[in-house]
Amino acid sequence: MVGHVLSKKLYVTVFALLIALTALTTGVAYIDLGAYNTVAALAIAVVKASLVVLFFMHLKYTPGMTRIALAAAVGWLVILLALTLADFHTRSWTPVPQSWQASTAPAR
């Protein structure tokens, strides 16, 4: 019928990749990369999620509307995060009241 039948081999390959990436992400956590630990962890997670979506969830073989639904979900998540964090991250930009600066002592 309408569905797309993928080969067993493909599924198993994807599966193997996912397991390998899990090992990788766990391993990387034990190496000191500073702030890049987080970047690496997230990048690997994104790759893993994409593999699942594309192959296990057949996104690669489904019509455009599905992709739009997914894009909307991710896009709206980004809006939620970006604008909320924009508030919290720019709060400290507000200059400290001038009366403070008048008495600023040298940094210690």
Partner 1 sequence: MSGAHSGALVAHQFDDAEQQHASASLGMWIFLATEVLFFGGLFCGYTLYRGLYPAGFEAGSHLLKVQYGAAYTVMLICSSLTMALGVRSAQLGKRKALVTFLVLTILLGAAFVFIKLRFEWYGDYLEHIVPAIHWAPQGKALAEITRLGASLNHVELFMFFYFVMTGVHALHMIIGVGVMTWLLILAWRGRFSPDRYNQVEMAGLYWHFVDIVWIFLFPLLYLIGGRY
Partner 2 sequence: MGTAALEVPSISHVNYLNASYGWRSWLFTVDHKRIAWLYLVAITFFFFVGGAAATLMRLNLIEPQGALVEPATYNKLFTVHGLIMVFFFLAPAVPAVLGNFLIPLMIGARDVAFPRLNLLSWYIFMLAGSVFLYSVISGGVDTGWTFYTPLSTTYANGNVMSAATGIFISGFSSILTGLNFIVTIHKMRAPGLTWFRLPLFIWSMYAASVIFVLAMPVIAITLALLVLERFFHVGIFDPALGGDPILFQHLFWFFGHPEVYILILPSMGVISELVAAFSRKRVFGYSFVAFSSVAIAVISFLVWGHHMFVSGQSIYAGLVFSALSFAVAIPSAVKVFNWTATLHQGSVSFDAPMLYALGFIGLFTMGGLTGLFLASLATDIHVHDTYFIVAHFHYIMVGGAVMGYMGGLHYWWPKMTGRLYPEGWARLSAAIIFVGFNLTFGPQFILGYLGMPRRYAVYPAEFQVLNVMSSAGASILAVGYLIPLIYLLWSARYGPLAGPNPWGAKGLEWTTPSPPPTENFEEVPIVTEEAYAYAKET
Partner 3 sequence: MYFGFPFRPQQASTVSVAWDHLFYFLTAVAIFFSVLIFVAIFYLAIKYRRRSADELPPPTRENLPLEITWTIVPLALTVVMFVWASSLFIRDSRPPAASTEIFVVGKQWMWKIQHPEGPREINELHVPVNQPIELTMTSEDVIHDFGVPAFRIKKDVIPGQYTTEWFEATKTGRFHLFCDQYCGMGHSSMIGWIIVMPPDAYERWLDSQMKVEPMSAAGSRLFSQLGCGTCHGPGQVAKAPSLAGLAGATVKLQNGQTVVADDAYLRGAILTPRQVAGFPAVMPTFQGQVSEDEVLQLIAYIKSLESPQGSKGKFQ
Residues that bind partner 1 (CB under 8 A): 1-3, 5-6, 8, 11-12, 14-15, 18-19, 22, 25-26, 29-33, 37-38, 41-42, 44-45, 48-49, 52-53, 55-57, 62-63, 65-66, 69-70, 72-74, 76-77, 80-81, 84-85, 88-89
Of the pair 89, 108, the CB lying nearest partner 2 is at 89
As a whole number of angstroms, the distance between CA 72 and CA 107 comes to 47
Q: Which option in partner 3, partner 2, partner 1, none does residue 32 bind, with CB closer than 5 to 8 A by kind?
A: partner 1
86 binds partner 2 (CB under 8 A): yes
Q: Does residue 29 contact residue 37 with C-beta atoms inside 8 Å?
A: yes
Of the pair 39, 78, the CB lying nearest partner 3 is at 39
Token pair, residue 64, equals 């455009």
6: Cβ contacts below 8 Å, ≥ 6 apart: 55, 58, 61
As a whole number of angstroms, the distance between CA 47 and CA 29 comes to 17
Of the pair 20, 86, the CB lying nearest partner 2 is at 86
